[in-house]
Structure 1
Amino acid sequence: MSKAAQIVKVRTSDGIDFDVSLQVAEQIGLIQSWLQQERNENNLPSCDDTDDGNIIFLDRVTSGIFELVLKWCRQLIEVPMPMLGWKHNDDKNNLFQTILNQENADDSTMFELIIAADFLNIESLLHAGTNYVAGLIATCNSVEAIRKRFHVVVHGDFEEE
């Protein structure tokens, strides 16, 4: 992290580097923990961008999914929840759906985003994502409808009673 620029360097599993503002990075629990550990050890990273020791590696998140994570975090910064009166999770759920719609995301991307939210420890994103999926499931009127909606294929000796 460059102290002057307040930037955290992040590298995704597909080798793409991101410069993330400290304000955004502190919303990501995994990065926040790393920064706190570095501060506690008085071992703040130097400004030398060529040193891989100053890069946070996200071995379970691809660049495409990380861009969606950053979009979520930036949106929460731009429009603070208390100012909007975000008393219900509906606003977060709507934001989650808006991000998916803007990216024309499919179910696979949606699930990857939820898994990334869990790995990165972003509770608001994880909660909105799981609520969104629960809403999709609630619109299905049978197990078969759920299977069809999420393209679940049953193999083997499994039989319904």
Structure 2
Amino acid sequence: MSHQPEMLQMRTSDGVVFDVSLKVAQQMGLTHNWLQTEHGELRSSDDDDANIMPLDRVSSEIFKLVLNWCHAIQASGQPADPKSKLQQERTIFKNILGESNPSDSTIFELIMAADYLNIEGLLEAGTQHVADVINGCDSVEAIRVRFNIMYDGEMDH
């Protein structure tokens, strides 16, 4: 009978190792899949890395934001109503952004991390946030300025 650990170690792409509670880690689909494979069995060996889940596409800065999200979701409980759940997730996302005041590139990295880690609620809240920002722009030029998108001056007709 396999024994699931209380904590899971996760190493980000920049080599930082985080101790994450199993309850929090299981919010990530990638973690769930990793635990279902042979990696999920904690091995006693001289190779400590065998029990550390690698997060090759997530930096420690972004992973801290992901963990903030997961802790906030866990603490808030899940509403039964899908519309309330979506509103709750958007509020949590905005709170996380308010606490860290991230750049647009950090927000995009957070969305990519949500996709990689398979955290559906975070992915939806992040993409909705970007859509809201785009909808708040009054022209294509305003979108280019807002997201620092270069325009080469030529368009195919």
TM-score relative to the length of structure 1:
0.86
| Structure 2 unaligned residues grouped into runs of 5+ | none
Over the matched positions of the two proteins, sequence identity in percent amounts to 46
- The aligned residue for residue 136 of structure 1 is 133
2:90 and 2:44 map into 1 onto residues whose CA distance is: 38
Superposed CA deviations along residues 55-79 of structure 1, whole A, max 9, x for unmatched, are 1111110001001001101111111
| 1:26 is the counterpart of 2:26 | yes
Could you say what the CA RMSD is over the residues aligned between the two structures, in angstroms? 2.4
- Relative distance call for 1:64 and 1:118 in structure 2 (3 A) is same
Q: Which amino acid aligns with 2:28?
A: I
| 1:96 is the counterpart of 2:93 | yes
Aligned with 2:120 (options 103, 119, 123): 123
| Structure 1 unaligned residues grouped into runs of 5+ | none
Q: Which amino acid aligns with 2:93?
A: F
| 1:78 is the counterpart of 2:75 | yes
- Detail structure 1 runs of 4+ shifted over 4 Å in the superposition: 47-50, 83-86
TM-score relative to the length of structure 2:
0.88
Shift of 1:81: 2.2
- The aligned residue for residue 113 of structure 1 is 110
Q: Secondary structure at the match of 2:8?
A: strand
Q: Which amino acid aligns with 1:158?
A: E
2:151 and 2:47 map into 1 onto residues whose CA distance is: 49
- Relative distance call for 1:143 and 1:63 in structure 2 (3 A) is same
